[in-house]
A = this chain, B = another copy of it.
Amino acid sequence: MKVLIIGGGGVVGQKLGKALAARGELRGAPISRLVLADMAEAPVFDAPFPVETATCDISDPASMERVIDADTDVIFLLAAVVSAQAEEDFDLGYRINVDGTKNVLERCRALGTKPVVVFTSSIAVFGGEVPQPFTDHSALNPQISYGAQKAIGEILLNDYSRRGFVDGRGFRLPTISIRPGKPNRAASGFMSSIFREPLQGQSANCPVDRDFPHFYLSPRKCVENLIKGAELEQAALGKCPSMTMPGRVWTIGQMVDAMTAVAGPEPASRITWEPQPELAAILEGWRMDIRPEKALQLGLEADESFEDNIRYFLEDDIQR
């Protein structure tokens, strides 16, 4: 069982690799080799099997020829340009997120080996006037180019799967919180930073009210779900292998209260609550009620409580 993580140097890719190392097997077979492919050399870690790195660019078909070979059984396709960047650089977003995804699928088609391809879409595919809650049967109506590119990726994955070129499964990731690492400039950054920074002794600003509802998942559960997603039988996916990954709708207030329940009152006191008028319109579009019914039926899971998300962060990621 040879596993390839494209985007293996990213936040989800690294955690997924380590989870695979801890498990040692996938789809009932021992993992014989794990390749972490990314733009730059990805960090490696200990595992009961060889962990290799490869540099690649999914927007370059030749690079995909080098990285995906006839022995590759399972591909996690995580490489992407994220939302703010795709909105800023229109051509780059389409080149990486659409042409890049197609290059991966085309390489699999050329090989004829029908590998399992796990694609990471996003809830940014939802929006506009489509009535909530958003279910697996709701129209994809993205209101940012990143969401449009992910929606196209899903349709490509579904069609390549139907044609038998890959055994694809796509999961719309909820907003991952608490995301480890440095604060970033993405509009969604506050959704992690209002917990991460205060828990690490720093302050952070929240630009929305306590009653703001959104759809969240912890990094730990995300990785567990990607592994479960890879293990599903193709027949169980029915006539649409792309679906929303489980998550839960929490309000910011519930999440802050969960932090207080787990870590005491101090972290919450480090949050400032200043509206950011320049973000208001975008954030209004993120008041999302989402029902991930299909994936729940297939055995994927959300966090039980946001207290869990806080505990996972303290166990897995906190930097002191």
Chain A positions within 8 Å of B, measured between CB atoms, are 90, 127-131, 136-143, 145, 148, 151-152, 155-156, 158-159, 162-163, 238-240
Measured between beta carbons, the chain B residues less than 8 angstroms from A127 are: 239
Known: A136-B139, A138-B139, A139-B137. A145 touches B128 (CB 8 A): no
Q: Is the CB of A240 within 8 A of B128?
A: yes
Known: A148-B156, A148-B158. A137 touches B138 (CB 8 A): yes
Q: Is the CB of B143 within 8 A of A137?
A: no
Measured between beta carbons, the chain B residues less than 8 angstroms from A151 are: 155
Interface of A is mostly: loop
Can you list 25 A-B contacts with CB-CB less than 8 angstroms, sorted by A residue number?
A128-B238, A128-B239, A128-B240, A129-B137, A129-B238, A129-B239, A131-B137, A136-B139, A137-B139, A138-B138, A139-B240, A140-B155, A141-B158, A141-B239, A142-B155, A142-B158, A142-B159, A143-B162, A145-B159, A148-B155, A148-B156, A148-B158, A148-B159, A152-B156, A155-B155
CB distance from A117 to the nearest CB of B (A): 16
Measured between beta carbons, the chain B residues less than 8 angstroms from A141 are: 158, 239-240
Closest to A102 in B: B94
Complex-state Cα separation, A143 to B148, whole angstroms: 20
Measured between beta carbons, the chain B residues less than 8 angstroms from A156 are: 148, 152
Complex-state Cα separation, A139 to B239, whole angstroms: 12
Copies in the complex: 2
Known: A239-B127, A239-B129, A240-B129. A163 touches B137 (CB 8 A): no
Closest to A131 in B: B137
CB distance from A86 to the nearest CB of B (A): 10
Complex-state Cα separation, A151 to B152, whole angstroms: 8
Closest to A93 in B: B159
Complex-state Cα separation, A116 to B100, whole angstroms: 29
- A140 is contacted by which of B136, B139, B239 (Cβ under 8 Å)? B139
Q: A129-B238, A148-B159 are in contact. List 18 more A-B contacts (CB 8 A).
A: A127-B239, A128-B240, A129-B239, A130-B240, A136-B139, A138-B138, A139-B140, A139-B240, A141-B239, A141-B240, A142-B155, A142-B158, A145-B159, A145-B163, A148-B155, A151-B155, A152-B155, A155-B155
CB distance from A295 to the nearest CB of B (A): 14
CB distance from A182 to the nearest CB of B (A): 29
Measured between beta carbons, the chain B residues less than 8 angstroms from A137 are: 129-131, 138-139
Measured between beta carbons, the chain B residues less than 8 angstroms from A238 are: 128-129
Complex-state Cα separation, A72 to B316, whole angstroms: 58
Known: A129-B240, A159-B148. A139 touches B139 (CB 8 A): yes
Known: A152-B155, A155-B152, A156-B148. A143 touches B239 (CB 8 A): yes
Complex-state Cα separation, A127 to B139, whole angstroms: 12
Complex-state Cα separation, A90 to B165, whole angstroms: 11
Complex-state Cα separation, A130 to B238, whole angstroms: 11
CB distance from A238 to the nearest CB of B (A): 5
Complex-state Cα separation, A137 to B142, whole angstroms: 12
CB distance from A176 to the nearest CB of B (A): 24
